[in-house]
Amino acid sequence: QVHLQESGPGLVKSSEILSLTCSVSGGSLRSYYWSWIRQPPGKGLDWLGCIYYDGSTHYKPSLESRLTMSVDTSKNHFSLRLSSVTAADTAMYYCARGGDRWGSIDDWGQGTLVTVSS
Amino acid sequence: QSVLTQPPSASGTPGQRVIISCSGSKSNIGNNYVYWYQQFPGTAPKVLISKNNQRPSGVPDRFSGSKSGTSASLAISGLRSEDEADYYCAGWDDSLSGWVFGGGTKLTVL
């Protein structure tokens, strides 16, 4: 079981870029997909997208124009950038292992709350 | 509006059996695996059922999953107070080429 830890600013201004990194320990990024999932306060889970260790990605179609994911196998971490944020992007952001068609999203980070302020 | 439809709430008394439903379509449940997650307030979700009906190590056999056509169900037997949590169904959607989640069901143990 790997350990995932999200890091990044907890407060982002409206129209700016939200950037988060997920550090993975206890295992390699290789041979897995890695996902970002968010949960607005009091609401349900929302899958944003995933990235394979080779850099290939699947993004949620409605976010594709604002979303960029990247992976750094040398540092064993992967990252999320969401541009032009609004209050609707305020949420707990989780990173997790998995996200392809054939496997579970199993190990999750503890999550980090990102608030978008005007 | 979630792609997968769950009842917003469910309830039962200790010892009872509770079933939570999840309705989808051919592009998600009908053609792919279903997963169930349990989430307690302030914590990350935990996978409860994998690939329709498989329990990961450590998940009690009181929890079981099933799938038929474009619907899936999570059954919890011998309900306990510690089962009070939010439950989400999820899985891959071919049309969206990504994962989708149900809206979640809040389970209350009376």
Distance from CA of A39 to the nearest CA of B (A): 10
B45/A44 Cβ within 8 A: no
Residue with token string 């392809």: A100
Please, which residues have CB within 8 angstroms of residue A114's CB and are 6 or more apart in sequence?
A: A8, A9, A10, A11, A12, A18, A20, A89, A90, A91, A92, A93
- Is the per-residue pLDDT at A5 higher than 90? yes
How far, in Å, CA of B28 to CA of B72, rounded?
Answer: 11
- Is the per-residue pLDDT at A103 higher than 90? no
Q: Mind giving me the DSSP string for B43-87? A: S--EEEEBTTTBPPTT--TTEEEEEETTEEEEEE-S--GGG-EEE
Query: What is the pairing mode between strands A112-117 and A11-13?
Result: parallel
Q: Give the length of chain A.
A: 118
Residue with token string 């990350």: B44
Q: What is the structure's pLDDT at A118?
A: 87
Q: Is A97 exposed, middle or buried (0-12, 13-18, 19+ CB in 10 A)?
A: buried
Q: pLDDT tens digits, residue range A11-67?
A: 999 999 999 999 999 999 998 999 999 999 999 999 999 999 999 999 999 999 999
How far, in Å, CA of B39 to CA of B104, rounded?
Answer: 10
Tell me which residues of chain B have a pLDDT lower than 70.
Answer: none
Contact yes or no for A80/A20 (Cβ under 8 A):
yes
A94/B44 Cβ within 8 A: yes
Mutation pick from A5, A6, A43, A105 vs chain B, by most beta carbons of B within 10 Å, is: A105
